[in-house]
């Protein structure tokens, strides 16, 4: 995908819209739900009021929620949420009204905003820097209160309907007390949760609504692009932890998410899934929200190819899981996007071609039309697809394994892959030890790590 020439538009918008004001947040327990709303003011010309609604479950300890901690987290969710609205015009100033942030916090947020919008800046052709793209100032003198929460040692597992969270659910549910969590549930998430043995009433469910005014502005030519959704998920999961009184929040982000999307640049579609963000987030939470919340990625030691191997052991999910963003509204695999092709490739060494064709409806390795995406995934091009996908190396390892598996009848893309000068090198150097290559940069306890090793080795 080539960058757009939107830098002039970016500069014009910044003159026309000099500030974004985070005016307030409100929340109330009404009609069996926790209802949260935010109010963001774009230079007095546009008001945005996004909302979260969380159905109250029987296992929530509403009466004993520490109000200071509750408001602290709700406020911080708004700090991420406003980014979706800020990017429409990229005003040079963000003004925070509800609470005060110290200098270290402001620098933390500027880093998240800048790196989390790296793809947005790149694809819009915007020329800026972390020192110049925004100033953050606070009107209030009151700082949010850090709290001790005394939570139980059970686990929340966010579920998105893809293979990764399925693996986390399956590995943890028989060894830990687990509660699934869903944001904006769809058919794939509901079915995966039910297949795993849970009912939706046993889950933490969050419904997020985007202000339709933002969509209207996008249609009118305001700036648009990717924002760090996983950072929003991170802060929302803290709220879930407080509601359900659960300490551990086990994400399903793998070490592959650390690889940048644009080779040689700090531009990563998955920045807020990276170990760098996870580390920064854990330190921020411990310093400014509560030391009792343990946010970590259970799959962090693993590469996507290892996760695919584990997922292949759970065929009951094959018909239900979905990883295609293009087809998510219709709950289908579009079979024409990078996410579909990547998922097909990474599963191909472990699931038969016949079974894969039942899942996808066709053999994606036999589609010449997918060659441009194939070249991006395998490193022939120096920009990977802007999707949540694995590393170039492990894509190539999966393809080497797939060649061995299908050597009697190679599909079209695998024949092209064998012409890649990297083929022999990858096959000889890396193909043997992929199962035991664990990344030691992770925050798993020894007991949790042992669950992964037992399942994989």
Is the pLDDT at 428 greater than 70, yes or no?
A: no
CA distance 229 to 222: 20
Check whether residue 281 and residue 411 sit in a common domain.
Answer: no
**pTM exceeds 0.85:** yes
The string of pLDDT tens digits covering residues 84-97 is: 999 999 999 999 99
| End position of a domain, from candidates 277, 297, 317 | 297
pLDDT by residue (tens digit) across 28-79? 999 999 999 999 999 999 999 999 999 999 999 888 888 999 999 999 999 9
pLDDT of residue 409: 84
Is residue 304 assigned to a domain?
no
User: What domain count does the chain have?
Assistant: 2
- For residues 102 and 245, state if they share a domain: yes
Check whether residue 375 and residue 285 sit in a common domain.
no
Residue 405 is predicted with a pLDDT of 86
Residue 311 lies in a domain: no
Task: Specify whether 115 is located in the same domain as 241.
Answer: yes
Q: Are residues 175 and 283 in the same domain?
A: yes
Residue 157 has pLDDT above 70, yes or no: yes
Statement to judge: residues 31 and 136 lie in one domain: yes
**pLDDT for position 427:** 66
- With respect to residue 105, please indicate whether it lies within any of the assigned structural domains: yes
Whether 292 and 207 share a structural domain: yes
Quick one: 252 and 388 in the same domain? Answer: no
421 belongs to a structural domain:
yes
Distance of alpha carbon 345 from alpha carbon 363, whole angstroms: 10
290 lies in some domain: yes
pLDDT of residue 188: 95
The pLDDT assigned to 453 comes to 94
Q: Based on the fold, state whether residues 364 and 411 are members of the same structural domain.
A: yes
Token output for 111: 């880093």
CB 211 within 8 Å of CB 223: no
Query: Are both 264 and 381 inside the same structural domain?
Result: no
Per-residue pLDDT tens for 304-341? 999 999 999 999 999 999 999 888 888 899 999 999 99
Q: Per this entry, what is the length of the chain?
A: 457
Q: Is residue 368 part of a domain?
A: yes
**Is 63 inside a domain boundary?**
yes
Q: How many Å apart are CA 20 and CA 42, to the nearest integer?
A: 5
Same domain for 429 and 283, yes or no, is no
Q: What residues are paired with 178 via a beta bridge?
A: 155
Question: 3-state SS string over 200-246?
Answer: HHHCEEEEEECCHHHHHHHHCCCCCCCCCHHHHHHHHHHHHHHHHCE
Whether 18 has a pLDDT exceeding 60, the answer reads yes
CA angle 176, 243, 34 (to 5 degrees): 140
Q: Report the C-alpha dihedral over residues 342, 433, 279, 137, rounded to 10 degrees.
A: -40
| Phi, psi (degrees; rounded to nearest 5) at 122 | -65, -50
Domain boundary among 246, 280, 297: 297
Looking at residue 263, its pLDDT comes to 76
According to DSSP H, which parts of 131-201 are helical?
163-173, 187-195
Q: Give 115's pLDDT tier (boundaries 50, 70, 90).
A: very high
> What is residue 429's predicted lDDT score, i.e. its pLDDT?
54
The answer to whether 263 touches 381, Cβ cutoff 8 Å, is no
Q: Name 152's Cβ contacts closer than 8 Å, sequence gap at least 6.
A: 245, 246, 247
Tell me the average pLDDT across 358-365: 97
Q: Do 276 and 332 fall within a single domain?
A: no
Residue 402 belongs to domain spanning: 326-437
DSSP string spanning 25-64?
EEEEEETTEEEEEEEEEETTTEEE--EEEEEPPTT--GGG
SS3 335: coil
Whole-angstrom Cα distance, residue 140 to residue 131? 23
Phi and psi for 451 in degrees, rounded to 5? Answer: -65, -45
- CA distance linking residue 328 with residue 65, whole number of Å: 35
Strand, helix or coil for residue 140: coil
Query: What's the whole-number mean pLDDT along residues 139-144?
Result: 95
Question: Within a domain: residue 452?
Answer: no
pLDDT tens digits, one per residue of 204-251: 999 999 999 999 999 999 999 999 999 999 999 999 999 999 999 999
């Amino acid at each position: 995908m080539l960058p757009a020439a939107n830098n002039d538009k970016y500069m014009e918008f910044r003159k026309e819209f000099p500030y974004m004001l985070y005016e307030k947040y409100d929340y109330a327990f009404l009609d069996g739900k926790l209802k949260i709303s935010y109010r963001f003011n774009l230079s007095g010309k546009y008001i945005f009021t996004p909302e979260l609604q969380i159905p109250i479950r029987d296992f929530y300890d509403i009466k004993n929620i520490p109000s200071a901690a509750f408001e602290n987290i709700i406020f911080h969710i708004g700090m991420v949420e406003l980014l979706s609205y800020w990017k429409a015009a990229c005003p040079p100033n963000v003004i925070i009204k509800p609470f005060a942030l110290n200098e270290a916090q402001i620098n933390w947020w500027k880093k998240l905003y800048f790196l989390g919008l790296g793809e947005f800046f790149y694809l819009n052709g915007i020329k800026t820097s972390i020192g110049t793209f925004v100033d953050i100032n606070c009107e209030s003198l009151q700082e949010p209160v850090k709290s001790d929460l005394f939570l139980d040692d059970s686990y929340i597992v966010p579920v998105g309907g893809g293979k990764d969270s399925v693996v986390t659910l399956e590995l943890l549910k028989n060894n830990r007390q687990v509660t699934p969590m869903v944001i904006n549930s769809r058919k794939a998430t509901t079915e995966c949760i039910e297949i795993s043995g849970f009912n939706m009433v046993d889950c933490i469910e969050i419904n997020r609504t985007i202000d339709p005014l933002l969509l209207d502005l996008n249609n009118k030519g305001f700036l648009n692009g990717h924002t760090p959704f996983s950072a929003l998920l991170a802060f929302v999961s803290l709220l879930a932890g407080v509601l359900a009184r659960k300490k551990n929040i086990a994400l399903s982000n793998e070490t592959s998410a650390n690889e940048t999307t644009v080779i040689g640049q700090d531009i990563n579609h998955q920045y807020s899934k990276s170990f760098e963000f996870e580390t920064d987030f854990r330190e921020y939470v411990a310093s400014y929200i509560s030391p009792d919340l343990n946010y970590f990625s259970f799959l962090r030691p693993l590469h996507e190819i290892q996760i695919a191997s584990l997922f292949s052991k759970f065929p009951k999910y094959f018909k239900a899981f979905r990883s295609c963003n293009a087809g998510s509204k219709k709950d289908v695999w579009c079979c024409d996007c990078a996410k579909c092709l990547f998922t097909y490739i990474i599963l191909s060494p472990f699931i038969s071609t016949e079974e894969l064709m039942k899942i996808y409806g066709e053999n994606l390795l036999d589609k010449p039309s997918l060659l441009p995406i194939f070249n991006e995934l395998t490193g022939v091009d120096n920009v990977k697809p802007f999707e949540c996908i694995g590393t170039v190396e492990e894509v190539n390892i999966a393809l080497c394994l797939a060649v061995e598996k299908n050597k009697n009848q190679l599909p079209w893309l695998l024949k092209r892959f064998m012409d890649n000068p990297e083929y022999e090198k990858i096959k000889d150097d890396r193909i043997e030890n992929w199962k035991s290559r664990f990344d030691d940069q992770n925050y798993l306890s020894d007991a949790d790590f042992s669950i992964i090793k037992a399942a994989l080795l």
